Amino acid sequence: MALLSRLGKLFLGLLAALSALVMIYLAAALLGGVIAGDHADLPDGDAVTIGLVAGPIHNDFLLPLDAETRDQFAVFSLSDVPISHPQAEWLMVGWGAREFYTTVGDYNEVSWTAARRAIFGDQSVLRVDVYGALGDPDVVTWLQLSPAQYRALRHGIRQSFGDRPEVVPVEAAASGTFFAAEGRFDLLRTCNAWVGAQLRNAGVAFGRWTPIPTSVTLSLWRFHSGGN
């Protein structure tokens, strides 16, 4: 009985420690969304409109397919991404964990392996898709950038693909094309943290650390919707 009692106390202690770590992580994620992060010193402006597409657990970029964007991402056409289609107006790019991104078709079907790798570390991939006219969907937040900021953002996203974008096969019923990406995904460097880093590196004011969707939402409110 004494042994069982000690094991029970150990289990409760571990559970309490795990709960504390989760609470610390979430608190840091919320604070990271509203505390300004260092960003590149580039002139701001409103000449270029980009979008952030909010999903249940992550955000994607929408880049306007102007001539320079088509040229910079022209290599995608070799992988059957219709970037040069005359009706293509927007390029969507999102970064994420390879196992999770390419095998999970529905969030109710997340495997333990995919979840474990997303938490402790996995190779990363980028999903690319092309859209025509969008209107003003509720899931998109529009941001205004200067030409210099947009060039820097576009360059940073392109660098995430490496020199020669490599297509990754997909098991899930997901739209778009997947490519191997630079960097590893884990609990600290998530898809949402990648979005924040790309914006800060492009001289856009954003939260210091944005690992969860709420962090991104708070950053958009704090720095781009009058919250400051």
Q: Rounded to an integer, what is the distance from CA 124 to the centroid of its chain?
A: 11
The pair of three-digit structure tokens given for residue 122, joined into one six-digit string: 């996995």
Total number of domains in the chain? 1
Higher pLDDT, 14 or 148: 148
Domain range enclosing 121: 2-224
Of 209, 124, 190, 194, residue with least CA distance to 162 = 124
Of the ranges 51-65, 85-99, 108-122, which one carries the lowest mean pLDDT score?
Answer: 108-122
- Cβ burial, residue 110 (10 Å; 0-12/13-18/19+): middle
Contacts of 122 (CB under 8 A, 6+ apart): 97, 98, 99, 100, 184, 185, 186
Q: Which amino acid is at 15?
A: L
Q: Residue 124 pLDDT more than 70?
A: yes
Q: Residue 224 pLDDT more than 60?
A: yes
pTM: 0.88
Q: Rounded to an integer, what is the distance from CA 167 to the centroid of its chain?
A: 19
Rounded distance between C-alpha atoms, residue 41 and residue 225, angstroms: 21
Residue 119 binned pLDDT confidence (cut-offs 50, 70, 90): confident
Q: Residue 12 pLDDT more than 70?
A: no
Tell me what the mean pLDDT of segment 121-133 comes to: 91
Q: By percentage, how much of the chain surpasses pLDDT 70?
A: 84
At 228 the pLDDT is 45
Give Cα separations from 55 to 73, 107, 162 (angstroms). Answer: 24, 12, 25
* Pairing between β-strand 59-64 and β-strand 177-185 as defined by DSSP bridges: unpaired
